[in-house]
Structure 1
Amino acid sequence: MGGGGGEVCCVIVPSKWRPGLTVKISWLQGGHFQRDASGNVVMKNGNKVFIEGSWKTRTVTIPEYQAKEMQHVDIHFLPNDQVLVKLSDIFPEHPDYRPAYPREMQHTSQ
Structure 2
Amino acid sequence: MKINRMLKVCFTFLMVLVAGCAKATDSASSAANISGINHVAGQAINSFSVNGYGGSLTGNSCCIMLPDKWRPGLKANITWESDPNANEPIPMKKKGFGYDEDAYAKHAEKYQQHSTVVDIPKYDQACGLTVHFLPCNQVKVTTSCYGYGVPEYPVKEPLNMKEPASCPVK
The verdict on a shared fold, with TM-score over 0.5 as the criterion, is yes
Secondary structure of the corresponding residue to residue 67 of structure 2: coil
Runs of 4+ in 1 over 6 A off after TM superposition: 31-34
Pair 1:90 & 2:146 matched: yes
Counting strand residues as a fraction of each chain, which structure ranks higher? 1
Aligned length: 97
Q: What is the percent sequence identity of the aligned residues?
A: 28
Where does structure 2 lack aligned partners over 5 or more consecutive residues? 1-37, 45-56, 161-170
Counting helix residues as a fraction of each chain, which structure ranks higher? 2
| Whole-angstrom distance in 2 between the partners of 1:51 and 1:63 | 34
Change over 3 Å in CA distance of 1:6–1:98 after alignment to 2 = same
Normalising to structure 1: TM-score of the pair? Answer: 0.67
CA RMSD, 1 decimal: 3.4
The structure with the larger Rg is 2
| Whole-angstrom distance in 1 between the partners of 2:159 and 2:138 | 20
**Deviation at 1:72?**
2.0
Deviations 1:28-67 (A, max 9, x none): 11177865897x8225xxxx76725121011111111112
Do the aligned residues in 1 keep the contact of 2:39 with 2:135 (CA within 8 Å)?
Answer: no
Where does structure 1 lack aligned partners over 5 or more consecutive residues? 105-110
The residue that corresponds to 1:108 in the other structure is none
Normalising to structure 2: TM-score of the pair? Answer: 0.46
